[in-house]
Chain A
């Protein structure tokens, strides 16, 4: 955990992240200027997502498993993002960056209607 904290401190200002219970919360500001809060579980192979249940272009909640939208069943009251593979070497910051990428794709989806899968064929 120390190493993870160090990476977060090196890459993000102190005000942008906090550890709360079994979660890491991190602020994410997308290219459009919208601000989201990303949560990441503090365990091996953690799940990650955003604190709100987001809606797709058609207004449907992103709260279940979707291959097209790269989401999993809702956890912690928000949308869960399928971010790809994990190993013990994966930092919480890398997971955050993957979620940040997903949020960009999500906003593109809201604009164009293309599924996230269209943009994000592989999340390595």
Chain B
């Protein structure tokens, strides 16, 4: 089919053009990916990992290219007085050169220039975010941090994209079956091609040594897993390494959610166990298989009953919780710099944040939004301090006092006799 280049929108990558100009090669072959039927083509010196559309041959040349291969794109590039001059043209099947206007994918330094002033993008591009769990929370948070200009990512998740994920995950139908780490790497690089992404498709609970080694290199840890076992493990290492971690979760049917920030010297995730609000909230169960794996649904619960327990909230209901986690992360990553969000350092000072989407269950007695006054109502954040448990086994091991089940027998109203075991022999 004859290529219609009329009104063709062409993008070339500034960073790649500079790399080419700095290389000794006079000519190099590249790759063109056209959004067919949309009159848009992107020209690269390197192949895309997950390319799209129709592929074209492209030649990058320093100065005028003498090649005349039909049905190819040519990018002539030169540097004059420090300025880059670029000419792009398409060589049609008759060998005619059809000049095209070039647009530029900005270089690393300019990519997030629009955020300058609000975010200290030069600082953020050196920061390392570790995101553990790439479900509906982790996927959105990763992309938001990439959009804000965070430059380094460590992604942990061993799951693959399944059909039930699609309603809330950033993954699309064409990602079904792919590892979430790969999908989110693509999404991050789609926003920031210069981001460095390290992927760990593993169960962290079985690789605590690796988790600790990687966490030591991270500036912020986002805990977006769906089970307490991993949260306790992450919290434990955060205490050890004196790092900041942000934990978030939705409660049943995403009627609300909470966010906890673990800071050095402050309460750890384990200190939350005795917190009334935290303990009252039943975590949202979005998938039977993972809930069984995590012990949220006991093994003896039938498949039918287990399915009834799965109550997935709306994507729109978890967005505010993700958003709060992103803001908390950006404040921590920007701390000490003079950025437009520095003022939030005085606002986001709490350990624990609560959010309600609907007046249901534990929020049912909350006031309705109109006329709520000072009473708690929906769609507002409430922050609270959490007391550190002086006997916590994770953050105060020297004073650790484990739960010995005091009062357990009273709770069940059963008289327990024969507590003297001095005469028994264990075999």
* Contact among B270, B273, B421 with A27 in the assembled complex (CB-CB below 8 Å): B421
| List of B residues within 8 angstroms of A77 by Cβ | none
- In the complex, A65→B300 CA distance in Å? 4
Of the 9-residue stretches B42-50, B218-226, B399-407, which lies at the interface with chain A? B399-407
**A3-B400, A27-B426 given as contacts; is B405 within 8 A of A93 (CB)?**
yes
Given contacts A27-B421, A66-B300, A100-B416, whether A88 and B405 have CB atoms under 8 Å apart is no
Chain A CB within 8 A of B374 CB: no
Determine if A15 and B412 form an interchain contact, defined as CB atoms under 8 angstroms apart.
Answer: no
* A89→B403 contact, CB < 8 A: yes
- Does B409 contact A94, Cβ atoms closer than 8 Å? no
Determine the main DSSP class of A at the interface with B: mixed
Task: Among A3, A44, A86, A101, point to the contact of B409 (Cβ < 8 A).
Answer: A101
Q: Are B414 and A101 in contact (CB under 8 A)?
A: yes
CB of B194 to closest CB in A, whole Å: 39
Residue of A nearest to B400 (CB): A3
Alpha-carbon distance A67/B400, docked complex (angstroms): 34
A118 to chain B, nearest CB (A): 13
Is the Cβ of A89 less than 8 Å from the Cβ of B426? no
Query: Which of chain A's residues has its CB closest to B424's CB?
Result: A27
CB distance from B391 to the nearest CB of A (A): 8
Q: Give the complex CA separation of A73 and B273 in angstroms.
A: 28
| Interface contact B403-A15, CB-CB below 8 Å | no
Contact of B299 among A72, A88, A100 (CB under 8 A): A72
Q: Do B426 and A101 touch across chains, with their CB atoms under 8 A apart?
A: no
Given A7-B402, A94-B403, A101-B409 in contact, is the A31-B415 Cβ separation under 8 Å? Answer: yes
- A25–B411 Cα distance when bound, in Å, is 25
- Residues of the A chain whose Cβ atoms lie less than 8 Å from the Cβ of B404: 7, 11, 91, 93-94, 97
B405 touches A29 (CB 8 A): no
Scoring B394, B422, B424 by chain A CB atoms within 10 A of each residue's CB, the highest score goes to B424
Residues on B with beta carbons closer than 8 Å to the beta carbon of A67: 298, 300-302, 305
Q: Smallest CB-CB separation from A90: which chain B residue?
A: B403
On chain A, the residues within 8 Å of B394 by CB distance are 88
Partner of A89, one of B236, B402, B408, B425: B402
- How far is the CB of A9 from the nearest CB of chain B, in Å? 12
Q: What is the CA–CA distance of A25 and B421 in the complex, to the nearest angstrom? A: 13
CA distance A42 to B87 in the complex (A): 69
A44 → B minimal CB distance (Å) = 6
B283–chain A nearest beta-carbon distance, Å: 11
B228 beta carbon closer than 8 Å to chain A: yes
Interface residues on A, range: 35 or more
A40 to chain B, nearest CB (A): 13
Within 8 A of A (CB), among B293-332: 295, 298-302, 305
Enumerate chain B residues within 8 angstroms of A45, measured Cβ to Cβ: 229, 295
Q: In angstroms, how far is the closest chain A Cβ from the Cβ of B169?
A: 27
Contact indicator B403/A98 (Cβ below 8 Å) = no
Evaluate whether A124 and B411 lie within 8 angstroms (CB atoms) in the complex, with A27-B424, A104-B416 already known.
yes
Give residues of chain B (332-390) contacting chain A, Cβ–Cβ below 8 Å: 389
Interface pair A88/B298, CB less than 8 Å apart: no
- Are A25's CB and B412's CB within 8 A? no
Tell me the complex Cα distance, A29–B273, Å: 31
Q: Which of B229, B405, B421, B427 is the one whose CB lies under 8 Å from A16?
A: B421
Known interface pairs A30-B418, A33-B418; A120-B412 also in contact (CB < 8 Å): yes
Asked if A94 and B405 make an inter-chain contact with CB atoms under 8 angstroms apart, the answer reads yes
A15 contacts B402, CB within 8 Å? no
Chain B residues engaging chain A, CB cutoff 8 angstroms: 205, 228-229, 232-233, 236, 270, 273, 295, 298-302, 305, 389, 392-394, 400-405, 408-409, 411-412, 414-422, 424-427
Q: Could you list some 8 contacts between A and B, CB below 8 A? A: A7-B402, A16-B424, A17-B426, A26-B426, A44-B229, A87-B228, A90-B402, A98-B405
List A residues at the B interface (Cβ < 8 Å): 3-4, 7, 11-13, 15-18, 25-27, 29-31, 33, 35, 37, 44-45, 65-67, 70-73, 82, 86-91, 93-94, 97-98, 100-101, 104, 120, 124
